[in-house]
Structure 1
């Protein structure tokens, strides 16, 4: 090419400076992007501590059980600090929210407004509610917020905070000796036992003269009915626990009846007047004078008393019959006099036969026409009905708890051994069999094989004995 033309060709390439400007713009843009990228990769500034605390969710403390009440053995409620209420209708085996239908029925089905239902005047609730500060469950002590005992044996305790139990209620069936968290089968059985005890308490209380006397005796550790008596009399003892009573060299077992434990103690004619402790109470034995009676009998009758072999053989029968007594009170109402005869020999007379000291007459003799019907003094079981040597045709009725009534010299027996009789049933006829001077009924009571004044029983029951009637 010609040099001039070559120069023109170079002149045609003059726009190159514009291309360099584009590169500069691109470089600036790239730098800006890198600056943005670098900024976005810088660590974010940490929020303040206050900002973090405010943003965390607040965990509220679990509601705490604050109060409970069992309205009866089956129904109860448990209230929480947030106002929620759980209820039970199966004695605490299951607790349900009070919004459920069974729970609503449980809450309103006993006491009004969830208060204790009226379980009757003779509920076994203790006169003063125990208030334990702590209880032991599985060897660990727990503080007690509230407790409630429906009987002297059966109760609940609401534990203080921090027990860790789903339902912080413990139950006892032995008066607080042991506690458990679950209502097991044996707890349910204990409930049934307590219900039966309350039913029996109603029967027990009915035998007392007044509700006030029943409450006084049934809510005491020991009770004596009466606490004053004379020689030849007897006392009914009640204790709130099983055990024995030691008296005059003998031991008498306390038998369960109603809500307590009972036994009779006879006061023999030879007992010395004075004061005797029985449990935590005192029995006062008073002196009593008896009159004297003189009898004249034929030599033939006198000789009857010398046949000791026959007398001892009969005594073995009698002792065997009186050695077994029903362990309960068989009567439910007052005793009656078997016949309305003429009293010829009162109880306790010192008797002389043909001028010789014989013994104390520990019965009453009621003279009546031969063949007069004889009534059972009260409900009982015929322990013995037999013809005996000295007492002739004789009957012993068991009235339970070691108490027997005796009917002697009958002309005819109308019952046999083992029969059950009701008060007023005709059991025999007046006669003069055995060692007898004429038609009459020889009648008395035997208490643990000790003869006892029958006048104590007529028109009453031992539960109503008191010093004013002596």
Structure 2
């Protein structure tokens, strides 16, 4: 055994020498790096030359064409954004250069409201409390704007953004900026939604830019007035309080002019509502004693009235109609709105509706879009329907021979909702039709072929006699 170990020893020594040579060749040693002695030798490489930092890319000008799209021009090219300045990508110069005009629809919408003009361009932008000089600023709305810093070293992003009219600025897109831009887009949508309800763009601008607007400014007993204000609030009218509801870019309510309203001038906000006199004719009816006795059953009448009052107590908080109102049927007008009615020689009431005679079974169409608030057989008015058109406005259809809708149904203008009949307190086939504004009956003649948003002419409210 001893002689065998001696023979292996020279082999181990040779292996160690060989390993040391391999380590030296590859530049490492079991005891540490060998670079120190190599650096001092003739074969040591020269030190690496540092790469110079390129100068910041200098932006020359920019343009935002809407709340999403815009471009920044550099000496060596153009970058474009599609998300309001969150991301920038290289763009073809000829394409971006052609996009120099602000979206015309955006500018037109902003011109509709008060304070929608141009915002002064500041020479500095406050970023994190420091006022930075800027080359160029642009506001697309009174609240949303962009600024190009005078020095590219002042910001990490090409443009600064403000969402508070320039009081403060942020460096590029943030969550709060995104939320503010989305809110501004929603506001623009509301402007467009309201604008489209007026007869012309000029009419829309005149109304939407005013603090208060009465549509119309002159009315008679039995009429209604649509009021617009530029902020929420309430109106007290004839000892009742009406809440202005938001719609589009304004706040609205109907003011019903009851038959007891006295002629004169009434202040509404900073406007004046003129109530003029109106004379109504008298009508005399003869009915059977059996029919006359129907009005003596006060228990059934009061029970029905509770159902009606409940149905009309809830109205959608927006305008549901899609366009001008149409007549439910083309019948013969037998009793106009507002007639003083005598039954069998005795005073009965003022007829606060129109009666349109037609053949029994004649289809009745919805005067406009709405929701069926009540569709039921009632004691005096027979088969009856009340449609909610939103904002406290309802249309009523009475004495039908057949109901074609049920409570809760959504209907469109022109949908057949029932058939002409003579149910309830009725002397013959006809449609008893009227409108209710905040539970006050108002003249249907105001609505035919128009909408409350087009009651702009002062004389329109008294043009037609009821």
Is the TM-score greater than 0.5? yes
Q: For the Cα contact (< 8 Å) 1:122–1:198, is it kept in 2?
A: no
Deviates more, 1:276-285 or 1:378-387: 276-285
Which of 211, 216, 233 in structure 2 is aligned with 1:221? 211
Q: Matched residues in 2 for 1:186 and 1:106: separation?
A: 31
Alpha-carbon distance change, 318 to 92 in structure 1, aligned in 2, over 3 angstroms: same
Q: For the Cα contact (< 8 Å) 1:234–1:266, is it kept in 2?
A: yes
Deviates more, 1:62-71 or 1:297-306: 62-71
Name the structure 1 match of 2:419: 429
Q: Matched residues in 1 for 2:270 and 2:148: separation?
A: 35
After TM superposition, list the pairs within 5 Å mapping 1:176-215 onto structure 2.
183-215=173-205
**Cα-to-partner distance string for 1:103-147 (whole Å, 9 max, x where unaligned):** 5369945x8353313235752355422438799887899999976
Q: For the Cα contact (< 8 Å) 1:373–1:430, is it kept in 2?
A: yes
Q: Matched residues in 2 for 1:335 and 1:287: separation?
A: 26
Which of 155, 171, 177 in structure 1 is aligned with 2:144? 155
Which of 96, 100, 104 in structure 2 is aligned with 1:114? 100
Q: Which runs of 5+ in 1 are unaligned?
A: 1-61, 97-101
Structure 1 residue 268 displacement after superposition: 1.3
Name the structure 1 match of 2:163: 172
Structure 1 residue 211 displacement after superposition: 2.0
Structure 1 residue 407 displacement after superposition: 0.3
Name the structure 2 match of 1:360: 350
TM (norm. structure 1) is 0.74
Structure 1 residue 286 displacement after superposition: 1.7
Alpha-carbon distance change, 141 to 389 in structure 1, aligned in 2, over 3 angstroms: farther
Q: For the Cα contact (< 8 Å) 1:64–1:161, is it kept in 2?
A: no
Partner-residue secondary structure (3-state), 1:198:
helix
Q: For the Cα contact (< 8 Å) 1:233–1:267, is it kept in 2?
A: yes
Q: Matched residues in 2 for 1:257 and 1:467: separation?
A: 23
Name the structure 2 match of 1:55: none
Which of 49, 61, 64 in structure 2 is aligned with 1:70? 64
Which of 320, 335, 339 in structure 2 is aligned with 1:330? 320
Q: Matched residues in 2 for 1:177 and 1:452: separation?
A: 49
Q: What is the aligned length?
A: 399
Q: Matched residues in 2 for 1:250 and 1:437: separation?
A: 36
Name the structure 2 match of 1:467: 458
Name the structure 2 match of 1:246: 236
After TM superposition, list the pairs within 5 Å mapping 1:364-379 onto structure 2.
364-379=354-369
Alpha-carbon distance change, 261 to 140 in structure 1, aligned in 2, over 3 angstroms: farther
Name the structure 2 match of 1:34: none
Partner-residue secondary structure (3-state), 2:417:
strand
Q: Matched residues in 2 for 1:368 and 1:88: separation?
A: 63
Alpha-carbon distance change, 413 to 132 in structure 1, aligned in 2, over 3 angstroms: same
Which of 128, 131, 137 in structure 1 is aligned with 2:120? 131
